[in-house]
Amino acid sequence: MPATLRKSFPKRRPAAPRSFAPVRRPALPSSAVVDAILRFSDVQEDVGGGRIMKRLSPTRLRDGEVRAALGDAAAQAGRVSVLWNDREDQIVRVLVSQPLAA
């Protein structure tokens, strides 16, 4: 490469590091929460492909049997949904929604 071409391009300066605000993610639910949702879910939506979205309604969360199974995790269980594959009888994904801002 001729020397004239090498000098025609300025040297690249390294980009300044960017700082991003940390993203607050909800805590992952325990296996007890997921198990309780699978056992006690009263809201079930068919999402197609043999998959069902399972959740606990606020009424069901107040039930004594569910409260006993969940204990202090009942508030978190209200924000958790489980995508269940009915054909394979297995969990596809566990979804956790953000808590509502006051």
- Domain limits, the chain: 28-96
- Go through 65-98 and write b for each residue having 16 or more CB atoms within 10 A of its CB, e for each that does not: ebeebbeeebebbbbbbbebeeeeeeebeeeeee
Give the pLDDT confidence of 42-82 residue by residue, as tens digits.
Answer: 999 999 999 999 999 999 999 999 999 998 888 889 899 99
Give the pLDDT confidence of 5-40 residue by residue, as tens digits.
Answer: 555 666 677 777 777 777 777 678 899 999 999 999
Give me the pLDDT at residue 20, please.
73
Give me the pLDDT at residue 81, please.
95
pTM of the model: 0.71
| Burial class for 35, CB neighbours closer than 10 Å (0-12, 13-18, 19+) | middle
